Structure 1
Amino acid sequence: MNTEFLKALRDLEKEKGISIDLLLSAIEAALLSAYKRNFGSAQNARVNIDRATGECQVFAQRMVVEEVTDVRAEISLPEARDIDPSYEPGHIVEFEVTPRDFGRIAAQTAKQVVVQRIREAERNMIYEAFASREGDIITGTIQRVEQRHVYIELGKTEAILPPTEQIPGERYRIGDRIRAYILEVRKTTKGPQIIVSRTHPGFLRRLFDLEVPELQEGIIELKAVAREAGVRSKVAIFSHDTNIDPVGACVGPKGTRVQAVVNELRNEKIDIIRWDPDPSRFVAEALSPAKAIAAEIWEEEKIARVIVPDNQLSLAIGREGQNARLAAKITGWKIDIKSESQMEEIYAQEYAAVYGDDGEGYAGSSEAEYEEG
């Protein structure tokens, strides 16, 4: 190794951001292992690379002691003081033992270390770049599909879209451009592993951020998201400016903003609802597109009972209970949905339990109680 080698390392430091001191320290450690392996030396030793000339030297190390018990690792105090009178017990005496053909081994070892460190540095740079983007959206090209896992090319690395994070029924073709949500970035022995998702609620949230300027500016806020990927989602929106309609801002002119999100999610239906600090109003709004007449809440149990017209009961519940499930998920409340006729029966039973079976008295009082609800 020589000054040209050091210059190459300095260029590498500028280009890849790998410290030359770290590289030289790693090369010295690797050379020490190579020396012990190739020359069968069990004694303590040190390898030094001159930072100015690049010259490589090997030094055997022996400790100064009063009485020698291991000649390979120790040197007597009188012998040490013959070399330098300042030596004391416990000091280390070094002797150069650089083998004649060590230069060839040094060059090969240095090359291996540098290549390895470059690879590690590039992996770390990729990891840092994507770890800071967890929760963001990436765009890439589908490279291959193996055992239902979709591999997405992202320049110098790739992301993995597992089957559990794929929208049901969605097809993936090699060469297609695709957007996904960065779910997790892991460090592995083979380099960073980037796991992405198209089903995560955060993906829907970030798509709206990209399409709605008012969200980016903080004028309106996306308070909550509930999603059953590929079928239906609900987003709760709140406006910090009373002059701005949050639902209208998300829908956009002629529905262009929400349609862009729907198209990205392969026609997933999206209900945009107004968030309200009043739980009863928010729960009632969450059952959209059904129109609730009233909502009763039990704060401590976080249970809500919502009353809807008879002809909207099935709409409020949704196919296989989907609308009710999403409403419960986005509000965090357990929701009991009742039709008007069901509530009349419940009120009648409650009235009878308190006042007895006096049907004449019930009709008027039931109506008044219902109107208040």
Structure 2
Amino acid sequence: MNVEFIHALEQIEKEKGISKKVLIEAMQEALLSAYRKNFGNDENISVNIDSQTGRIRVYATKTVVKEVKNSATEVALEQAIKSDPSIVEGDLVQVESTPERFGRIAAQTAKQVVMQRIREAEKNLIFEEFYSKENDIVTGIIQHADKKNVIVDLGRIEGIMPASEQVPNEKYLFNKRMKFYVLEVKNQSKGPAILLSRSHPSLIKRLFELEVPEIFNGVVEIKSIAREAGSRTKMAVWSHDSNVDPVGACVGQRGIRVQNVVEELNDEKIDILKWSPNPAEYISNSLSPAEVIRVEIFEDEKAARVTVPDHQLSLAIGKEGQNARLAARLTGWKIDIKSESQMRKLLEQELFAGNLFKDPAETNEEPEDSEEYEATEDTEDVDADFEEEQEE
């Protein structure tokens, strides 16, 4: 190796961010292994690469003796004092032992080491870049889709979106540009593995954070999100400034802000409602767009009984129970929805049975078509702990 090689290392340092010192140290270790493999392992040797000239020298550590019996580990005192008159018998000295044909081996080894380190450095840089984007949004281009996975081009690397993170009925066409939520970034031996999602509720959260300055600045806070990906989402928001309407801020003038998010999600319906530390008010809001007449709260069971007008019952429940189901997930409360007619029958039954003031959980008789919903384990709440809010 020569000065040109050192200049090449300096160029790699500038372009790839790999320290010249680190490269030289790695090459010295590799050359040491190469020496032992090709010339034996009897000597206590070290390899040095001059960081200015690129010259390679192999040094053997030997013991100074009067009479040499093992040339691999010993050097004659007469020879040693030529370089340093202060040396005495028994001292350990460095003796250059560079083989004549070591240059070719060194050149091959150095090239392999540099290429390996460049690959490792690039992998680490990509990992660090995407690790910082974990729980954030990235834009990618669909490269391939099958029954299990969707492969996404993210620029310097490909990401993978498994079937569990895909949206039902969403089409992932080749070359289509989309936004993805970065679920996880793993640093594997083959390189970083980027796990993506289109169905995660936090995709909604990040899209609104990017779209709504009031959320990005912390004036408006997203308290909870319940999502059935591809169909409908409910999002509860709260304003830390009484002069800012949290729902209006998210909707935007003429609905432009929410519409931008809806378009990115291929027309998924999004209900934006006001969060409240009052459970009854929050539950009432969560059943929007249905009108609510009354909400009865049963703290011990974390359950609520909601009364709606007869003509609003189907709207409150929603198609296949979706509206009520999302409301239960959003609030974290078990919600029992009844029409006014059902409530009248129930009250009559309780009155005649003497159970007017009993918990509904203790009442066995229920009117026909009573609808009850509760939060399930897949609820995705940003923050919906009523008890903590009330204590504050």
TM-score bracket, shorter-length normalisation: 0.7 to 0.9
* Amino acid in structure 1 at the alignment position of 2:291: K
Structure 1: give runs of 5+ residues left out of the alignment: 357-373
Following the alignment from structure 1 to structure 2, what is the Cα–Cα distance between the partners of residues 123 and 87?
Answer: 51
- Correspondence 1:305 to 2:298: no
Q: 1:122 to 1:348 in 2, by over 3 A?
A: same
User: How many residues are treated as equivalent by the alignment?
Assistant: 352
Partner SS for 1:330: helix
Q: Mean alpha-carbon deviation: is it higher for 233-242 or for 246-255?
A: 246-255
The alpha-carbon deviation at position 176 of structure 1 amounts to 1.5
* Residue aligning to 2:9: 9
1:62-93 deviations in whole A, cap 9, x for unaligned?
A: 5789xx9x96886599899978766797x754
Once residues 181 and 290 of structure 1 are traced to their aligned partners in structure 2, the CA distance between those partners, rounded to angstroms, is 31
Q: Is the 8 A contact 2:27 2:109 kept in 1?
A: yes
Aligned CA distance change for structure 1 residues 279 and 63 (closer, same or farther; 3 Å): farther
Question: Paired residue for 1:230?
Answer: 230
> 1:170 and 1:88, CA in 2 relative to 1: closer, same or farther beyond 3 A?
farther
Q: 1:331 to 1:77 in 2, by over 3 A?
A: farther
Structure-to-structure mapping, 1:1-373, within 5 angstroms? 1-62=1-62, 92-354=92-354
- Quote how far apart the aligned CAs of 1:231 are: 0.8
Alpha carbons of structure 1 residues 352 and 56: separation in structure 2 relative to 1, 3 Å: same
CA distance in structure 2 between the aligned counterparts of 1:36 and 1:178, rounded to whole angstroms: 54
1:331 maps to a residue whose letter is: T
Tell me the residue number matched to 1:361. Answer: none
2:42/2:72 contact within 8 Å kept? no
How far did 1:300 drift? 3.8
* CA shift for structure 1 position 260: 1.6
1:371 maps to none
TM-score normalised per structure 1: 0.85
| Structure 2 unmatched runs, 5+ | 357-392
- The structural deviation recorded for 1:59 is 2.1
Quote how far apart the aligned CAs of 1:55 are.
1.1
CA contact (8 A) 2:77 2:89 kept: no
CA deviation after TM superposition for structure 1 residue 146, in Å = 4.7
Is the 8 Å Cα contact of residues 292 and 309 (structure 1) preserved in structure 2?
yes
Q: After superposition, what is the alpha-carbon deviation per residue over 1:326-367, rounded to whole angstroms, capped at 9, x for unaligned?
A: 1111112222222223322333333334389xxxxxxxxxxx
Deviation at 1:306, TM superposition (A): 1.7
Q: What secondary structure sits across from 2:351 in the alignment?
A: helix
| Partner Cα distance (1:280, 1:49) in 2 | 75
Measured in 1, the distance between the counterparts of 2:123 and 2:199 equals 27
Q: Secondary structure at the match of 1:54?
A: coil
Q: Distance in 1 between matches of 2:188 and 2:220?
A: 40
Classify the secondary structure of the residue corresponding to 2:354.
Answer: helix
**Contact conserved, 1:60 with 1:94, CA < 8 A, in 2?**
yes
Q: Secondary structure of the equivalent of 1:5? A: helix
Q: CA deviation at 1:209?
A: 1.8
2:101 and 2:224 map into 1 onto residues whose CA distance is 69
Higher helix share: 1
